[in-house]
Amino acid sequence: MSLVSFNNKNIQYNFQLPKINTSTTNFNFAPTTNYTNFASANNLFSLYNNSFANLKKVLDTNNNATSKPSIKLLNTNKVSTNLENVGYDKNKGEKLANTAAKNTVGFTNQCASYVKTAIQNSGLGAYEYGDAYECANILKRNKNFKEISTNGLDLSTLPAGCVLVYDKGVAGYSSKYGHTEITLGNGQAVSDGVTNNIRQGARVFVPVSQSYVA
């Protein structure tokens, strides 16, 4: 006698129950503390349990064979934007770089003043007071710039007009004031003087189009 026909993903599972001799099987289920009368019933439940357990193994094996996409969590402690999707504005960048390059006089320990003056003269933000390392917070408030991740980025390859901000003591710069400069797009950067070999370790703020500003 076929009791169950289970279909899942083209799997059909049939099993037969054994024939029970009603003339010899004791079906007297009167309340008692002696459970020997339930032997036949226990055998029947065991058959069901074993059958469904085997069926579950087959289905689980089949389901696990299907590949599932892995999920990667974002690390919210890092700047997620990169140069490719930040919306770099070439016109703003080149204007800022040219403005800064025209005003270099040689290093005078006034890098922050020259960088902020170039930003103001390029129409990209009002002049704000603060030391070189403080330019990071100034630029984070400026809607014309957006910080990007520097993970694996060679700063000497940045396009024109990106503002580099070094924290105090980073890359050998001043332990009191830090340093800031603007890239020219040719491997150089300028502030009050010209840097021919851009050092790693700076935070990078890219001039962006207004349509990309959140």
pLDDT in tens, 22-62: 555 454 444 444 444 444 445 545 555 555 556 556 455 55
Long-range contacts of range 183-188, CB-CB < 8 Å, 24 or more positions apart?
183/97, 183/155, 183/158, 183/159, 184/97, 184/101, 184/160, 185/93, 185/94, 185/97, 185/158, 185/159, 185/160, 185/161, 187/156, 187/157
| Cβ-proximal residues to 65 (8 Å cutoff; 6+ apart), any chain | none
What does the alpha-carbon distance between residue 180 and residue 202 come to, in Å, rounded to a whole number? 8
> Domains (ranges, CATH) in the chain?
2-64 (no CATH), 90-212 (3.90.1720.10)
Q: For residue 128, how many other CB atoms are within 10 A of its CB?
A: 16
The tokens of 57 are what? Answer: 């193994």
Confidence at residue 45, expressed as pLDDT on a 0 to 100 scale: 53
Confidence at residue 85, expressed as pLDDT on a 0 to 100 scale: 87
What does the alpha-carbon distance between residue 133 and residue 181 come to, in Å, rounded to a whole number? 11
**pLDDT tier, 1 (very low <50, low <70, confident <90, very high otherwise):** very low
Confidence at residue 210, expressed as pLDDT on a 0 to 100 scale: 77
pLDDT of residue 137 exceeding 60 = yes
Q: What's the mean pLDDT in 141-163? A: 96
What does the alpha-carbon distance between residue 25 and residue 85 come to, in Å, rounded to a whole number? 78
- For residue 41, the Cα-to-chain-centroid distance in whole angstroms is 58
